């Protein structure tokens, strides 16, 4: 079990990137959602023990990981947001190198490497230098190295960046196939990456935890507050000023705009079922509180 208690992070320039986080994680996929600068990577780095909290404690099976991180590091797989690779090594060479650094049994590691290369669709490129890989292929190598030790806790910071739609789907399926006996913490801006797989969502904004709850709870909190209305150009500006808006699509009948509001935003507005994207937009919007309590 991973426990985060009263954790804050103030960087050396006195900037507070995370304030007073509290969470207990036992298993399954946890999706971290938040805008640029929300503090997702800051939180992940502290859990991965590459950065220390300014206040509070993080424990793994009862051990303070910043006093004794050996057990956590043994159980950890981590894909940092900016992941550097050695361009002259092939995928196989790089994964062998990482396996050696992780202190894995090399005989077992070789089988695992073959398995992962296959799982991440890198077989054709396995013996080519990583320096010649596309961005998405490099990202998949990053995911593979995080899985080398079959980690009990997997932290992946924006793992789907640069992946094409097929590879994103493969990644989601891979995560779903792993999730039973692990804690998987995944950050993303792409709501659909976590919509189907995450058991719990951590929604963050400007270093604050907005909610740590089940997907459904988040959707229920917006039930009855998501609308679609049709507006002319001038009405649209008015709606955008007054309300939190989502997608706006031009159709023959006018501009079709998605609005999140407690009150009916226009006489022609019809209610829609909330999606996780609505929740993300609503809870991370600077306008929140102006229209909905
Ligand atoms: N080393 C640092 N020194 C000072 N401020 C930092 C440092 N690292 C991050 N920050 C600041 O802390 C805040 C949170 O950064 P963080 O990287 O955790 O955000 P994030 O949610 O991961 O964003 P993104 O979606 O862009 O990856 C940002 O305002 C960032 O500028
Ligand atoms: Mg980040």
Averaged pLDDT of the chain? 92
Residues in contact with 252: Cβ distance below 8 Å, sequence separation at least 6, in sequence order: none
Average pLDDT of the segment spanning 238-266: 93
**pLDDT over 50 at 292, yes or no:** no
Alpha-carbon distance values, 157 to 33, 163, 184, 222 (Å): 11, 14, 11, 27
Q: Residue 293 above 90 pLDDT?
A: no
Q: Is the pLDDT of residue 287 over 80?
A: no
142 lines ligand 1 (CB under 6 A): no
Give SS3 for 28. strand
11 CA → ligand 1 middle, Å: 9
Q: Is the pLDDT reported for residue 206 higher than 60?
A: yes
Nearest to 17 by CA among 51, 40, 48, 34: 40
Percent pLDDT > 70 in the chain is: 97
Helix, strand, coil percent content, the chain, rounded in steps of 5 = 35, 30, 35
Q: Confidence band (pLDDT; 50, 70, 90) for 288?
A: low
CB atoms within 5 A of ion ligand 2 belong to 40-41, 81
Q: Count CB atoms within 10 A of the CB of residue 157.
A: 24
Considering every ligand atom shown, identify the ligand nearest to the alpha carbon of residue 9 and give its number.
1
φ, ψ at 211 (rounded to 5°): -160, 150
Q: At a CB cut-off of 8 Å and minimum separation 6, what does 208 contact?
A: 19
- Residue 139 token pair: 């990202």
CB atoms within 10 A of CB 180: 8
Tens of pLDDT, residues 141-176? 999 999 999 999 999 999 998 889 998 888 888 888
The whole-number average pLDDT for the span 71-82 is 94
Counting from 1 in the atom list of ligand 1, the atom nearest the Cα of 207 is 14
Residue 11 has pLDDT above 80, yes or no: yes
Which pLDDT value is given to residue 195? Answer: 86
The pLDDT, as a whole number, for residue 193 is 86
Phi and psi at 84, nearest 5°, equal -90, 145
Q: 80 C-alpha to center of ligand 2: Å?
A: 9
For the Cβ of 54 lying below 6 angstroms from any atom of ligand 1, the answer is no
Ligand 1, atom 11, residue with closest C-alpha: 17
Q: What Cα–Cα distance (Å) separates residue 3 from each residue in 48, 53, 54?
A: 13, 13, 16
Neighbouring C-beta atoms of residue 252, cutoff 10 Å: 4
Answer yes or no: is pLDDT of 233 > 90.
Answer: no
Cβ of 38 closer than 6 Å to ligand 1, yes or no, is yes
Atom of ligand 1 minimally distant from the CA of 39: 18
| Cα–Cα dist 156/3, whole Å | 18
3 lines ligand 1 (CB under 6 A): no
Residues facing 214 on adjacent strands: 200
**% of the chain with per-residue pLDDT over 90:** 77
15 CB under 6 A from ligand 1?
yes
Q: What are phi and psi of 89, to 5 degrees?
A: -85, 150
Instruction: Decide which of 286 and 13 is more confident.
Output: 13
Residue 291 pLDDT class (50, 70, 90 cuts): very low
Question: Which segment of 40-44, 182-186, 244-248, 287-291 scores lowest on mean pLDDT?
Answer: 287-291
pLDDT (mean) for 219-228 = 95
Region 60-75: what's the mean pLDDT?
95
The confidence band for 231, taking pLDDT boundaries of 50, 70 and 90, is: very high
Q: Whose Cα sits closest to atom 10 in ligand 1?
A: 17
Q: Is the pLDDT of residue 138 over 70?
A: yes
């Amino acid at each position: 079990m991973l426990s985060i208690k009263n954790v804050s992070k103030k960087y050396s320039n006195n900037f507070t990137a995370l304030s007073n986080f509290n969470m207990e994680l036992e298993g399954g996929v946890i999706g971290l959602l938040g805008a640029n600068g929300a503090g997702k990577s800051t939180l992940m780095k502290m859990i991965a023990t590459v950065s220390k909290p300014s206040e509070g404690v993080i424990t793994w099976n009862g051990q303070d990981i910043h006093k004794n991180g050996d057990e956590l590091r043994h159980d950890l797989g981590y894909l940092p947001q900016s992941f550097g690779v050695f361009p002259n090594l092939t995928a196989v060479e790089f994964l062998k190198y990482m396996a050696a650094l992780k202190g894995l049994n090399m005989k077992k590691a070789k089988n695992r490497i073959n398995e992962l290369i296959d799982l991440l669709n890198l077989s054709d490129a396995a013996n080519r230098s990583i320096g010649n890989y596309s961005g998405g292929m490099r990202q998949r190598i990053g995911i593979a190295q995080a899985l080398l030790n079959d980690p009990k806790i997997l932290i992946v910071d924006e793992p789907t960046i640069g992946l094409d739609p097929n590879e994103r789907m493969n990644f989601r399926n891979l995560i779903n196939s792993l999730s039973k006996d692990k804690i998987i913490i995944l950050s993303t801006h792409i709501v659909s990456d976590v919509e189907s797989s995450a058991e719990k969502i951590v929604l963050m904004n400007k270093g604050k935890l907005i909610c740590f709850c089940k997907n459904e709870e988040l959707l229920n909190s917006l039930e009855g507050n998501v609308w679609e209305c049709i507006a002319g150009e001038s009405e649209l500006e008015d709606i955008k000023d007054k309300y939190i808006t989502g997608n706006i699509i031009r159709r023959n009948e006018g501009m079709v705009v998605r609005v999140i509001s407690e009150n009916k935003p226009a006489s022609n507005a019809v209610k829609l079922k909330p999606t996780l994207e609505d929740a993300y937009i609503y809870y991370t919007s600077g306008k929140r509180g102006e229209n909905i309590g």
